[in-house]
Amino acid sequence: MAGPSMSPALAQYVDDELLRAPLLFDQVVEGALDHGRHARSAMSIFERNAADDTMRAVDAARGRMAERYAQSLREQVPAELAKPDPPAANAPAARPLALALVEEDTVALEVEQSHLVELVKSTAEQELRELATYVAALVGDMDVARDHNPFRPEVHVRALWAAAQVLPLSRGHQMILMRWAAAALAQLLRQSYAAACSRLEEMGVEPANYRTVILASGARRSRSVETTFSPDLRRMRETMPARLADAMPGLTYQGQQAPAPRRDGWRDLARSVGTRADRQSIELVSRLFDAMNADDRVPADVKLLVTRLHGPAMRLALRDPGVLDKGEHPLWCFVHLLAYEAEMAPDVADPERRRLLRLGQALVDQLAAQTDQRGALYRHALQRLEVFLHQRLARRCAAVATQIGAMQKVEARLDTGTPPPSSFDGLLDAPVMDTVPAELMRDAGDGAAAERGDASWLDGLRAGQWARLMLQGRWVAAQLLWRGEKRQIWIFGDGASDATWAIRRNALLMMHAAGLAKSLKVRSLVGSAAARVQEEVAASLVAS
């Protein structure tokens, strides 16, 4: 299993885990069957018959299932190890996928796997964190910048599903096995991860150290959390100590000497204004831009554009008090929207992303060249950006016009009661396959139950809006391109590739109810920056 760039220690770790995979799967199956036997007495007649069929099929296909489980791990591990840290600048765009009609049966599988992954993560949280430090040391990442473990819970869950598909039964029976195996898989993986840590320690591997703060009481914080916080910038300016706004050479910044020469320009500007309030405005605006520049969620190429607005924004603050009245000033709205749209399209080689940044650069150049800074300039720039985004949406919709036409016909068939082909394998023209029996579904398992869910989220989506969806086993930022007149089919486009998905209404409602779909909002960079500045100012006052 050792690859050309894999260290001997990492190769040994991978080989050891693969050798133990058949035994691990055998124990998982034993736990699953025990669970089924104990639960049988509380089942209905239908459920009992389905359970008996599942247990007989598992006994007959156990050996082939173990082989498929191990094979799936071997297939996934190289891809997991080859995942780059950030997207490469010259990386080719992802291969476009065929238009997929995602229905309830597909979403049921996504929900089931998501629940199982979360169960494993919560059960083996401490073991996973410890193992991440050892594997990071094997690959030379001593700060644990990301999880390099090629045997994460998602990998094992996908392998379990691959093994379940060996059963010559319906999808519903295969998902029964997945549910039965949940508790056993979580406990056995916890033991497996702990044993792997012990083996690596015996090999003399010294674990790496997290560079992030571990939150107390098991609290977790997602790096992708979006904030729409609108800070009271005027109050922040008024409460800033005068000595921080005087801009003298001894000024401290986060307890250290100010990082010159980046601050030399605004120091000169501060000395040229006469009022204390103006000096405070310059101080606050400068610190806000410093904090936005330090935000690691902002793409590097966008940071370069935002930095160009540092000086113009300080001059604008002296002319337009509205800059510090609220976070919805056109200056901040322009910065937020530009960064947001660049984050939604992370592939730097994407032609549409390049067009976006070229427009952003032209607008920033125009704004920076204006000596008379006024809010109207930024309103005009924001309007230009919004027009570009509308045109970009129109171009993408035109590119999928054929797919939209096909989905209009499918929706018409749905309206007449004619069922379209099932798409469990992801392709619109896939043959009809077994769907999940409604009686075996969990958490809004049928269309009627999904329809009773909160549809306000779905009906509130408009073309051009972005959503975060779990599709084909991965989280994607997807833009709504089209929704049918009957509101039965919705077409989304992937922000990182040319992939397109057509999703049934009930499937979207089921995904939303399971936490696998949510709309995204433009993140307030100035809101996050203001909170950081408040912390820095408070720390400076305490240190003094």
Q: Which of 183, 213, 243 is the last residue in one of the domains?
A: 213
Find the farthest-apart pair of alpha carbons in the chain and give their distance in angstroms, rounded. Answer: 87
Predicted confidence at residue 512, as pLDDT, reads 87
Output DSSP code: residue 178: H
- Cβ burial, residue 135 (10 Å; 0-12/13-18/19+): buried
**Judgement on whether residues 389 and 432 belong to the same structural domain of the protein:** no
**Judgement on whether residues 534 and 486 belong to the same structural domain of the protein:** no
* Count of domains for the chain: 3
Helix (H) and strand (E) counts in the chain: 20, 8
Give the angle 540-285-249 at the CA atoms, nearest 5°. 50
Predicted confidence at residue 241, as pLDDT, reads 54
**Judgement on whether residues 40 and 62 belong to the same structural domain of the protein:** yes
> How crowded is residue 318: how many other Cβ atoms within 10 Å of its Cβ?
18
**Judgement on whether residues 26 and 164 belong to the same structural domain of the protein:** yes
Provide the residue-wise pLDDT of the chain in tens; the chain has 544 residues: 555 467 788 888 999 999 999 999 999 999 999 999 999 889 889 889 999 999 999 999 999 999 999 999 999 998 888 865 444 333 334 444 445 566 566 677 777 888 888 899 999 998 999 999 888 888 887 777 778 899 999 999 999 999 999 999 988 889 899 999 999 999 999 999 999 999 888 888 888 765 443 333 333 433 433 444 455 777 777 666 544 444 443 333 333 333 333 444 555 555 566 677 777 778 888 888 988 988 888 888 999 999 999 989 988 888 887 888 766 889 999 999 999 999 999 888 889 999 999 999 999 999 999 888 899 999 999 999 999 999 999 999 999 998 888 888 888 887 776 655 544 333 333 222 233 333 333 443 444 444 444 688 888 899 999 999 888 767 889 999 999 888 889 999 999 888 888 888 888 888 888 888 889 989 888 888 888 888 877 776 666 6
Taking the CA atoms of 426, 431, 433 and 438 in sequence, report the sign of the dihedral they define. positive
Q: How many residues does the chain have?
A: 544
Q: What are the CA-CA distances from residue 526 to residues 84, 228, 507, 509 (Å)? A: 30, 10, 36, 33
Segments forming the whole domain that contains residue 124:
8-87+114-213
Domain CATH code at residue 440:
2.30.30.140
Q: In this structure, are residues 316 and 335 in contact, taking their beta carbons and an 8 Å threshold? A: no
Asked whether residue 95 is assigned to any structural domain, the reply reads no
Asked whether residue 504 is assigned to any structural domain, the reply reads yes
Asked whether residue 186 is assigned to any structural domain, the reply reads yes
Asked whether residue 445 is assigned to any structural domain, the reply reads yes
Q: In this structure, are residues 526 and 227 in contact, taking their beta carbons and an 8 Å threshold? A: no
Asked whether residue 316 is assigned to any structural domain, the reply reads yes
Predicted confidence at residue 244, as pLDDT, reads 44
pTM of the model: 0.64
> How crowded is residue 35: how many other Cβ atoms within 10 Å of its Cβ?
16
Asked whether residue 100 is assigned to any structural domain, the reply reads no
Q: In this structure, are residues 470 and 110 in contact, taking their beta carbons and an 8 Å threshold? A: yes
Q: What are the CA-CA distances from residue 308 to residues 126, 263, 284, 361, 456 (Å)? A: 44, 13, 17, 9, 40
**Judgement on whether residues 491 and 510 belong to the same structural domain of the protein:** yes
**Judgement on whether residues 147 and 257 belong to the same structural domain of the protein:** no
Q: Which two tokens stand for residue 58?
A: 């598992």
**Judgement on whether residues 381 and 452 belong to the same structural domain of the protein:** no
**Judgement on whether residues 241 and 176 belong to the same structural domain of the protein:** no
**Judgement on whether residues 205 and 241 belong to the same structural domain of the protein:** no
The 3-class SS string of 293-352 reads: HCCCCCCHHHHHHHHHCHHHHHHHHHHCHHHHCCCCCHHHHHHHHHHHHHHHCCCCCCHH
Asked whether residue 220 is assigned to any structural domain, the reply reads no
**Judgement on whether residues 310 and 428 belong to the same structural domain of the protein:** no
Asked whether residue 249 is assigned to any structural domain, the reply reads yes
